[in-house]
Structure 1
Amino acid sequence: MLKKILITTITIVVLVLSLGAYAFYWLSSFMPKEHEVTALKASQPSALTYLQGSTSELRGKILAVVTSTNKMGQSNKKTGYELTELSRAYWVFTANGFKVDVASVKGGKAPVVIDADDMGEYDYAFLNDPKAQQKVTQTLFIDDVDPNDYAAVYFVGGKGAMFDFPNNPAIQKLVKNLHENNKIITAVCHGPAALVNVKLDNNDWLITNKDVSGFTNDEELFLIPDAQTIFPFLLQDKLSERGANFQLGETYLEKVVQDGQLITGQNPWSVWTLAEKTIEALGYDPIPREITAEENSIQLLTLYKQEGYKSARSFVNNNNLKYQQVLIVMHSIVAFMKMNLSEGLDLLLIANALR
C-alpha cells in the first residue's frame, strides 16, 4: 500500500510541476462561468419546460419527511436534510399530480444542507418558489401526521437523518401503517435510517429479506473517515444487520432498488429515478422529462465503470448529449484520492473529450 501511495503521489506531483500554471487553468476551465451561475441561481419554476407540462389532475398526497438535526452527534459538523434530495423529488411528485407535504421530527423550520457543486436549475427553482419554501420553513410535526392522508411517504436523506429518524416512534408508526395498507414507502441516501427499527406485528423487522439500498459504507467513510465514532451506526451495516438484502451500487453513482411497495436509493444521484419509480408504483406513467446534464454524466460514469474507457468514449462520440463536465472531473479526483491512477487519468481524458 505504501509503495502504491508513493508512486501515485510522485506521479501527481510530476504532472502538476511539468504542466505548471496550465494544469490549474485547464482544470478550472471545467467550472461553470460566473454568468452561468448567476443565471442558474435565478431559475424559476415557471421557466422550466418540464413543470409547464404538469398534469392538472390531483391524484393524491405524498409526505416528504426531513430531519430536524442540525449537528452530527457530539461533533461540530453541521448537517440537515439535503436540498437536492427534496427539491428534485418534490418537482416530480407535483408535476405528476401529487400534492407534497413536508414533515420533520420537531416540526417548524428544518435545517438544510445546500451544496453549491450539486445545485441545478430545479434546485434553485425550489429555493425561489415561495410555496415550496413555506413548506420547509413551516414543516409539519411528524407526531401530528395522519397516515391515512397519504398515498406514499418519502424519507429525504441528509446525515441528520441518522440521528433523529431511527428511534422516532411517530416515524415507526407511520411506516408500519403505510406498510399494512399496501402504500408506497420510499427513502434515499441516509433516508432509509427511518426503516431500520420498524417492527411488524409478528416481531419481524420490516426490512428483513427485503432488497434495499442506501448510503454505503464506502461512500460514508470516504467523506468522513471517523464516521463510525460520529454516527450511531453505519447505514449499510445496520440495514444488513436487520436482515435486509443490501444492494451495493457503484460509489457515488445512481442505484435504485424496488422490492414491492418499498423503493430505496443509494445517494443523491438516485433521486430522479426513485421519484419516477414512486409515480409508477402509484399506478401512473411519469410525464416526459428531459434528462439533465448531471444524469447524462452519471450514465456515462456508470458505463465507464461497467465497460471501460473505450465504451465510454464511443458513447460520447455517438451521442450528442449535454454533460456536467465538472462531475466527471470530481470523480477523477476521487479516483486519484483512492490511488486509482489509471481511472483518474481515464476520466480526465473523458472530461476533456466533452469540451
Structure 2
Amino acid sequence: MLKKSFIALLMVSGLCLGLFLWLKSLIPQPDQDFSQTQPGELRYLKQKPSQSRGKVLVVVTSSGIMGASGKATGYELTELARPYYVFLANGFGVDIASPQGGQPPVVIDRDDLGPFDYAFLNDPQAQYKVNYSIPIAQASAKDYQAIFFVGGKGTMFDFPNNTSIQVLVRDFYRSGKVIGAVCHGPAALVHVRMETGELLVAGRRISAFTNEEELFLIPDAEQHLPFLLEDRLRAQGAIMQPGPAYLEQVSVDGQLITGQNPWSTWQTVERMVEAMGYTPVPRQVTPAEYTVELLLAYEQGGFAQAAQKLQQLNSDQGTEIDRRLLAMHGVVAAMRWELGKTLDLLRLLRRSKK
C-alpha cells in the first residue's frame, strides 16, 4: 500500500513538474532591462504642451504597517509613477502630499515595473517630491486643478478619518474640480460629508478594490484591515460598479473618477485629464493593457471572442501581449478550481506565442 502511494505521489509530482515546465516554455524571459530608464528617454513626455495647465495634487499614504499584522505596506509605486507622468505629459505640474509629510513608505513589486516606473525611480525631481512630500494639512484646493489618491493598503489606515483629506476633498468638489482615486485610494472618500451632512459617495457610481480581490489575496483581510473597502462604500450609499477581478474598471460620475485596481490606473488618470477639459496626448499602449483587453474579451464572450481578439492583436503591427500576466490569470483560475477557464487561458497563452 505504501509503495502504491509513493508511486502515485511520484506520478502527480511528475505531472505538476511537466505542467510547470510547459507553462514556463510559453512565457519568454524579459529581453529588455528597463531598470536604467531615464525620464528623458520617455518619448511620451516629449508631447508635453508648451503652456502649463496648472497643477495636480497627488496624495499617498504615510502608513507603513498593516494594522496588528505587522506586515509592511505603503503606497503602490506603479499607481504613483504612471499618473505622475501622465499628468506631466498633459501639461500639468505635480505636487505629492501625504498625511504626515516627508518620506512615505512604498511597495515595489519588481515583476510589475515597466519603463515609466523605473524612470520615476531614476528621476531626481520626482524622487525629491515624493521623499519630501507635503504634509496634507498644508495643501490647499485653490492651488490645484485636481486631486488624485494613490492606492496601497496603507491608505486604509490613514486616509478615511483624516480631517485634512476630508476638507480638501470637500473643497475640490465644491469648486467643481476633478477628484480621482484608484484601487484602495477611494478609502479617502468613504467618510467625506458635504456641508449639508450628506456623504459625498452616497448615490455616486464608484469603482474600488473589491471584496473578491481583497479576500483572494488575503483571506483573513477583515482581521488586518479596519474594514473591507467595498463593504464600507456600499454601506455609505455608493453605487458600486465592480468589474472582473484584476482587470480594468473605471467609473466616471461627473467630477468623481475612480478605478478598481492597479490595472485601471492608466484609464483613470486619462479620464481625469478629459474631465479637466483636455484630450489626453497619445500614449503607446503597454503589453499589460493589451493583455487586459484580451482577458476582458474572454470575460464578455468566452474563448471564441478572446481567440478572435488575440488574432487581431497578433496581426496588428506594434502590439505585444504580456504572456506572464496572461499565465498569472490562468494560475488564479486554477486556484479557484475554475478548470474550464484555466484550460481556455492556457490555450490562449499557447496561441499568443509568436
Residue in 2 that maps onto 1:203: 197
DSSP 3-state at the match of 2:234: helix
Residue in 2 that maps onto 1:333: 331
Residue in 2 that maps onto 1:70: 64
DSSP 3-state at the match of 1:74: helix
Q: TM-score, normalised by structure 1?
A: 0.93
The one-letter code of the counterpart of 2:241 is Q
Q: C-alpha separation between the residues in 1 aligned to 2:167 and 2:294? A: 41
The one-letter code of the counterpart of 1:329 is A
Q: C-alpha separation between the residues in 1 aligned to 2:85 and 2:272? A: 13
Match 2:277 to one of 261, 266, 283 = 283
Residue in 1 that maps onto 2:49: 55
Contact kept in structure 2, 1:64 and 1:153, CA below 8 Å: yes
Residue in 1 that maps onto 2:14: 17
Q: C-alpha separation between the residues in 2 aligned to 1:111 and 1:56? A: 34
The Cα of 1:24 is off from its aligned counterpart by 2.9
Q: C-alpha separation between the residues in 1 aligned to 2:211 and 2:12? A: 32
Cα gap change, 1:19/1:251 in structure 2, threshold over 3 Å: closer, same or farther? closer
Q: Deviations 1:235-263 (Å, cap 9, x if unpaired)?
A: 00000000010111100000000000000
The Cα of 1:16 is off from its aligned counterpart by 5.9
The Cα of 1:14 is off from its aligned counterpart by 6.8
Q: C-alpha separation between the residues in 1 aligned to 2:210 and 2:242? A: 7
Match 2:24 to one of 12, 28, 41 = 28
- Structure 2 residue runs of 5 or longer lacking an equivalent are 1-9
Q: C-alpha separation between the residues in 2 aligned to 1:307 and 1:15? A: 34
The Cα of 1:52 is off from its aligned counterpart by 1.9
Q: C-alpha separation between the residues in 2 aligned to 1:128 and 1:30? A: 32
The Cα of 1:277 is off from its aligned counterpart by 0.4
Q: TM-score, normalised by structure 2?
A: 0.93
Match 1:110 to one of 100, 104, 110 = 104
Contact kept in structure 2, 1:147 and 1:178, CA below 8 Å: yes
**2:76 paired with 1:79:** no
The one-letter code of the counterpart of 1:294 is A
Residue in 1 that maps onto 2:6: none
Residue in 1 that maps onto 2:321: 323
DSSP 3-state at the match of 1:302: helix
Give the count of matched residue pairs.
Answer: 340
Q: Deviations 1:312-352 (Å, cap 9, x if unpaired)?
A: 11211223321100000000000001110111111111112
Cα gap change, 1:295/1:35 in structure 2, threshold over 3 Å: closer, same or farther? closer
Q: C-alpha separation between the residues in 1 aligned to 2:276 and 2:325? A: 32
Q: C-alpha separation between the residues in 1 aligned to 2:335 and 2:11? A: 16
The Cα of 1:28 is off from its aligned counterpart by 2.7
The list of structure 1 runs, each at least 4 consecutive aligned residues, that deviate by more than 4 angstroms after superposition, is: 13-16
Q: C-alpha separation between the residues in 2 aligned to 1:140 and 1:31? A: 42
DSSP 3-state at the match of 2:101: coil
**2:233 paired with 1:226:** no
Contact kept in structure 2, 1:109 and 1:137, CA below 8 Å: yes
**2:287 paired with 1:293:** yes
Cα gap change, 1:192/1:19 in structure 2, threshold over 3 Å: closer, same or farther? closer
Q: C-alpha separation between the residues in 2 aligned to 1:318 and 1:95? A: 29
Superposition RMSD on alpha carbons, in Å? Answer: 1.5
Q: Deviations 1:35-79 (Å, cap 9, x if unpaired)?
A: 53xx21112221222122222220010000000000101112110
**2:142 paired with 1:144:** no
The one-letter code of the counterpart of 2:194 is L
Residue in 1 that maps onto 2:7: none
Contact kept in structure 2, 1:172 and 1:194, CA below 8 Å: yes
The Cα of 1:23 is off from its aligned counterpart by 3.0
DSSP 3-state at the match of 1:55: coil
The one-letter code of the counterpart of 1:254 is E
The one-letter code of the counterpart of 2:337 is M
Residue in 2 that maps onto 1:313: 307
Matching of residues 147-296 of structure 1 within 5 Å:
147-296=141-290
Q: Deviations 1:189-230 (Å, cap 9, x if unpaired)?
A: 000000000001111101110000100000000001111111
Cα gap change, 1:23/1:347 in structure 2, threshold over 3 Å: closer, same or farther? same
Q: C-alpha separation between the residues in 2 aligned to 1:55 and 1:128? A: 23
The one-letter code of the counterpart of 2:326 is I
Contact kept in structure 2, 1:16 and 1:23, CA below 8 Å: no
Residue in 2 that maps onto 1:7: none
The one-letter code of the counterpart of 2:132 is Q
